[in-house]
Structures are given as C-alpha cells and as structure tokens.
Amino acid sequence: EKPCFATEEQWSLLKRKDAPLDESAAAAVAVVKAACAGESSEARPVNEEVIRLRRVFGRDACIVCILGGASFHGAESEELVKELASRLESASGPKVKFLTGGMAGVQETFAKHCGDGSRVWNLVPLGHASGYSRGTDVHAGADLQERKEIFGLVGDVYVTIEGGPGVAHEVGLAHERGAAVVPLMR
C-alpha cells in the first residue's frame, strides 16, 4: 500500500520492474527523505536491544534499513543498488543512518557504495562480522533469527530490493509496527 508521504508518480516508479534505473533510484530517495522528515505516529516497541541500538545511532537519527537478497536476480538490480546507495548518501542529512543486516548481495553492495561508509552500520549477531570494507559492525542477537527480529524493530524506513522469505519476514515486522516500507521492484 502506498504510504502517505509518497506521490502517485513515485509509487508507480517504485512498483514498475521496467522503470528506468535513475528514475527508480530518484523516486526511492525522495520517498525515504519524506519518510525521515515526517514524525512517526507509531510507538517503537519497548525492547532493550532496540533502545541500546537507538542510543548508538543517536536518539534523533532516522534509521534507513536496507533489505534484499543475498544474490542478485534482476539484470539491473546490482546497478540499482549502487545508484541508490550513492544518491541516498549524498541527498540525506547527517541524522540519517543506514543499517544493513551484514549479509552478502544487496546489503554488502549498498554498504560499499554509500559514500565513505561513515553512516553505514551493519547489524550482525554476537560474535559475527560483516566482513565489509565499509561501515561499522554493531552486534545484536545471539543468532541470525534474533538479529532479524531486532532488525525489524529498530528502523524508521525499510528499503527493499529483491529478496525472499527472510526479507519478507523482516519487512513484515517493520510494516506491522508502522515503519515506512519502500519497495524497489526489479
């Protein structure tokens, strides 16, 4: 369903698998910026890990979570992620932080193309590392399942590019609590 902060034109571009790459990226950036500028009416669930992470990121930060498959399926998907990372980083103010789940594919590509990586955080289970050359690893959850649950609770905006059941689960948690979801179809 189209969120109130997206125009019909933007939403149409995000849903079209054949939309031009640069137009899709621009629409996603505009929707993320609008979502971060708005005030969320939904209360974030009280969870000690979420509270701890919000302190790490900054209490007034807008957390943009990046979700997607561990590999690319669409012909243009990798280029779309690179373009999106570059545009989001340059168009967003310093209060916007980008969060990945430390996975290969969409998340790693985003992290590696999001400026110098200083606003990229990679949420990984305790004892694990993303292995990315960009961003800062932050730990939450004893295992991947716990990390996924926390990931679905901590963000303000969730951008999805491709993905399967794991992505659907995480974005479902976010949507249920009223977080903004920006799907990029490919």
Q: Which of 27-41, 50-64, 82-96 has the lowest mean pLDDT?
A: 27-41
Give the range with max mean pLDDT: 35-44, 117-126, 143-152, 159-168.
Answer: 117-126
Report the sign of the C-alpha dihedral through residues 126, 42, 92, 57, in that order: negative
Residue 41: band (very low, low, confident or very high) from pLDDT cuts 50, 70, 90: very low
Mean pLDDT estimate for the chain: 89
User: Which H or E run includes 96?
Assistant: strand 96-100
CB 88 within 8 A of CB 62: no
In angstroms, how far is CA 52 from the centroid of its own chain? 19
Which whole number is the average pLDDT over 72-79? 90
Q: How far apart are CA 118 and CA 139, in angstroms?
A: 17
The model carries a pTM of 0.89
